[in-house]
């Protein structure tokens, strides 16, 4: 079982997210706990009003809404009564047994899962601390419930099951409401979870889910006023549908919001840089016959997406790595010169040329690597087909990379 806890300052946003799923036929409200009536006997307004009144007991607390999802392995077929039991036990063990909460079962994913909507404000107005709630109480409760109900352990489940899905643009009617809801669902899973430090890095994540944060062109009113909107992208990366201003979303994720996240994320992602660097080394620099598709495929197996930026002429000018396991985003140039688009392309071109010209690794090692202008020229698709060669599938051979070949160490003479 995988338990995920979100905290928010908007109980209304969390509540309507789940109620909208019910209206769409993708979820059902299983239970209303510590409510005066059963869930089936209440309107949406009555359900929300109970939570709002509890929150009003302590208006000083800003983060007062809690959204929890309990996710189970696809092989587990759990009845509604069992889901109610597990959710009830879980809430009791994390200290929310006396809190009013709504339990929803969602049917919009391949794995069974339930959502819980509650508040951390007690009936006497005191606050339940959310600090380390996921790391301490939740982990202890999860492990105990896995043992009691013979559930598949979180450690044994594949992460990809619980990754967010790209917006399916075919199902979106390009009206404002549907577009906003689709974008909002992705933003809720990205903005506060991934460590990005620029709009480019944020878009590297959002683009994977058919969304872009758009600051507008330099001459646009949006850009000049420091505004930001979110838009859908089609399969070719073109902007489509109605742009939605950042101010219209619950947490107002405009430029000021993002800049505050940049500062936090800069420190937060530092500890994960070495892990990513090592993964790229294994996927590219330590392979006998490196290629761009080979690097991309190998990193994907480790939960890392590679976002390559190229101009209309096919020249690669940027590369960003999105680590979904550690929830971090790095432009290649930040990791190091050899991990930038220029560094990776230069290495691949020299390897290709060495194989074509039968040049020895020692000679390649001695060549200068400072001629990136020449490398950019060779990336033009009209010139000698090197870009096609660069992008071609890997083929195995016994070539030893030039950076693995070093000078033989001189033996020290023994002193008599």
Lowest-confidence pick of 50-54, 56-60, 298-302: 298-302
pLDDT number for residue 386: 42
Mean pLDDT, to the nearest integer, of 383-411?
40
pLDDT number for residue 273: 92
**Rounded Cα–Cα distance for residues 18 and 79 (Å):** 20
pLDDT number for residue 355: 62
Distances (CA, A) of 205 to 182, 209, 215, 227: 16, 7, 16, 20
Q: What is the pTM of this model?
A: 0.52
Q: Give the model confidence (pLDDT) of 282-307 as tens digits.
A: 888 766 667 888 888 889 888 899 99
pLDDT number for residue 394: 39
* Burial (0-12, 13-18, 19+ Cβ within 10 Å), 81: exposed
Q: For the chain, give the secondary structure using H, E and C.
A: CEEEEEEECCHHHHHHHHHHHHHCCCEEEEEEECCCCCHHHCCHHHHHHHHHHHHCCCCCCCCCEEEEEEECCCCCCCCHHHHHHHHHHHHHHCCCCCCCEEEEEECCCCCCEEEEEEECECCCCCECCCCCHHHHHHHHHHHHHHHHCCCCCHHHCCHHHHCCCCCCCCCCCCCHHHHHHHHHHHHHHHCCCCECCCHHHHHHHHHHHCEEEECCCCCCHHHHCCCCEEEEECCCCCEEEEEEEHHHCCCCCCHHHHHHHHHHHHHHCHHHHHHHHHHHHHHHHCCCCCCHHHHHHHHHHCCEEEEEEECCCCCEEEEEEEECCCCEEEEHHHHCHHHCHHHHHHHHHHHHHHHHHCCCHHHHHHCCCCCHHHHHHHCCCCCCCHHHHHHCCCCCCCCCCHHHCCCCCCCCCCCC
Determine the distance from the C-alpha atom of residue 69 to the mean position of all C-alpha atoms in its chain, rounded to a whole number.
Answer: 17
Determine the distance from the C-alpha atom of residue 113 to the mean position of all C-alpha atoms in its chain, rounded to a whole number.
Answer: 19
Higher pLDDT, 187 or 176: 187
Please give the share of the chain, as a percent, with pLDDT higher than 90: 43
Tokens of 217: 């062109």
Going by their DSSP bridges, the two strands 239-245 and 101-106 should be labelled as unpaired
Domains and CATH numbers, the chain: 2-162 (3.30.930), 176-268 (no CATH), 271-402 (no CATH)
Q: Is the pLDDT of residue 123 over 90?
A: yes
pLDDT tier at 184, thresholds 50, 70, 90: confident
Q: Is the pLDDT of residue 375 over 60?
A: no
pLDDT tier at 174, thresholds 50, 70, 90: low
Q: Is the pLDDT of residue 54 over 60?
A: yes
Phi, psi at residue 311, to the nearest 5°?
Answer: -85, 180
Lowest-confidence pick of 225-239, 278-292, 315-329: 278-292
* Burial (0-12, 13-18, 19+ Cβ within 10 Å), 410: exposed
């Amino acid at each position: 079982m995988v338990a995920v806890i979100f905290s928010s300052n908007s109980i209304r946003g969390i509540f309507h997210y789940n109620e909208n799923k019910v209206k769409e036929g993708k979820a059902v409200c299983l239970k209303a706990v510590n409510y005066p009536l059963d869930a089936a006997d209440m309107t949406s307004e009555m359900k929300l009003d109970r939570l709002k009144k509890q929150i009003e007991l302590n208006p000083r607390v800003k983060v007062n809404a809690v959204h929890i999802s309990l996710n189970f392995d696809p092989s587990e077929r759990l009845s509604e009564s069992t889901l109610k039991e597990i959710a009830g036990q879980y809430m009791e063990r994390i200290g929310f047994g006396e809190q009013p909460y709504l339990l929803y079962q969602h049917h919009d994913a391949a794995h069974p899962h339930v959502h819980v909507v509650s508040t951390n404000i007690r009936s006497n107005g005191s606050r339940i601390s959310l600090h380390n709630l996921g790391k301490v109480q939740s982990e202890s409760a999860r492990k105990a419930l896995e043992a009691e109900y013979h559930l598949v352990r979180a450690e044994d489940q594949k992460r990809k099951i619980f990754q967010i899905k790209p917006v399916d643009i075919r199902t979106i009617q390009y009206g404002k409401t549907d577009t906003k809801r689709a974008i909002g669902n992705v933003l809720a899973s990205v903005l506060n979870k991934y460590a990005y430090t620029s709009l480019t890095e944020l878009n590297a994540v959002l683009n994977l889910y058919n969304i872009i944060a758009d600051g507008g062109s330099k001459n646009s009113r949006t850009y000049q006023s420091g505004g930001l909107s979110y838009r859908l992208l089609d399969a070719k990366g073109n902007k489509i549908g109605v742009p939605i201003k950042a101010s219209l979303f619950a947490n107002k994720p405009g430029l000021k919001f993002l800049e505050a996240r940049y500062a936090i994320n800069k420190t937060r992602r530092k500890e994960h840089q070495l892990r990513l660097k090592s993964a790229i080394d294994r996927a590219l620099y330590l392979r006998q016959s490196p290629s761009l598709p080979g690097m991309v495929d190998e990193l994907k197996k480790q939960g890392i997406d590679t976002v390559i930026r190229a101009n209309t002429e096919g020249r690669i000018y940027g590369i960003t790595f999105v680590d979904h396991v550690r929830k971090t985003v790095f432009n290649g140039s930040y990791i190091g010169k050899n991990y930038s688009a220029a560094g990776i392309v230069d290495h691949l071109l020299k390897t290709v040329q060495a194989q074509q010209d039968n040049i020895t690794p020692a000679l390649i090692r001695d060549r200068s690597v400072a001629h990136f202008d020449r490398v950019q020229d060779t990336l033009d698709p009209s010139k000698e087909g090197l870009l096609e060669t660069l992008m071609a599938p890997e083929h195995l051979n016994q070539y030893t990379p030039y950076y693995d070949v070093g000078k033989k160490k001189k033996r020290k003479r023994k002193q008599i």
